Amino acid sequence: MSNSRKIPLSKATLALLALTFGLNSAPVVASHHFESKLAQQYPQFDLTDMFVFDSQRQGYTAFMMDVNPTTKDRADFGENGVYSFHIANGNSLSAGGITITVNLQGEQLVFGLADGANQAIGMKGKEFGRAAIGKASKFKNGIKVWSGAAHDPFVGNSEGIIGFLTTLIGEGKLELSKFSKGVDLFKDFRSSIILIEVPNKMLPKNIQVYATSAMYNVDQWVQVNRVANPLVTHLFLANNKMEVSEHVHHRPDSDASRRYAISGMVLRAVALDGKRKDLVEYSDSVAEQLLPDMISYTVGSRAEYSYSNINGRKPSDDAMDAVLSLFMGRKVTDHANTFNRHPNKFPYVVPVK
């Protein structure tokens, strides 16, 4: 654990940055790593992934976020900040819902709860419990938590996406063969994990979820990152850095203004692919499906994030295959399949020992 500060980047992290921002100005492409200048300066507040799924305990829903791609042997969260799960009632950010917050104080994480899914940046809510990092804790309201360093659960072929997007954007060519090596960059990376299991009775029946991180910077609260659907910024907005910045620093209620950018990227891909006839209609439908950027889930049901069905997301779901298929309008794969670090029992990750 550490204060929010600039830290030197390891060789592995520098390699990830090279893949993220691309060599020779290639497009951005690695999950949700290092999307903003603040995320680069303060990686403790860099959200890289979010999951919502049915717990192994009947009657509970699990919410998990991955933080800080520079994590090594210990979880490394930032002080003077807050991590939040925003849980909306259906597709409305104003009709009920709750926000669960987490902030670091010393060697403990402090958990808070507030009404509404779109509270002000920096809001921490009413404290309901504290827990030591690395240990599971259960509170009086039934919520169970765990945090710690773990092997990054994301599986994805970032090298393939670099080649794929470079040719798609720069040369106007569609080359799915760029994924043929099937290299999973993330199999050797670690993340700081926050896991919260919530009794279903505390949740609306149908929810839409996104996660944010914020920090107190100079004299004001600023949102460092926002995540929900994987690869929205690094695939669907890959050719529009301005919209990426707008996306990570704002909330879903402003997302409709970015649909044009997603629709345009998808249209380019499906037109070059030549496998669909409904080019414009399909491209617009993808933009409408992804924005506002929240993951929908029917509480109590089996979670699945796939090309044919999005209902929550488990750590073991092949999310990159799902979004690549959505991008192409047909089922495709990145050929990265190292799903060997995805236990189906609490805490649903492989902790670093």
Query: With pLDDT > 70 as the criterion, what percentage of the chain qualifies?
Result: 90
Q: Domain extents for the chain?
A: 11-328
Q: Are 283 and 261 in contact (CB under 8 A)?
A: no
Give the three-state DSSP class for 186. helix
pLDDT band at 3 (very low <50, low <70, confident <90, very high): very low
Per-residue pLDDT tens for 30-69? Answer: 444 556 788 889 999 999 999 999 999 999 999 999 999 9
Strand (E) or helix (H) holding 192 = strand 190-199
Average pLDDT along the chain: 91
Look at residue 1 in the predicted model and tell me its pLDDT: 43
Per-residue pLDDT tens for 193-248? Answer: 999 999 999 999 999 999 999 999 989 999 999 999 999 999 999 989 899 999 99
Strand (E) or helix (H) holding 197 = strand 190-199
Per-residue pLDDT tens for 117-129? Answer: 999 999 999 999 9
Strands 190-199 and 98-105: unpaired
Show the CA angle centred on residue 91, arms to residues 310 and 65, nearest 5°: 60
CA 301, CA 39: separation in Å to the nearest integer?
Answer: 34
pTM summary value:
0.91
Look at residue 20 in the predicted model and tell me its pLDDT: 45
Residue 93 has pLDDT above 70, yes or no: yes
Rg (CA), the chain: 19
Residue 22 has pLDDT above 90, yes or no: no
**Could you give the residue ranges of the DSSP H alpha helices within 205-278?**
241-249, 259-273
Look at residue 151 in the predicted model and tell me its pLDDT: 97
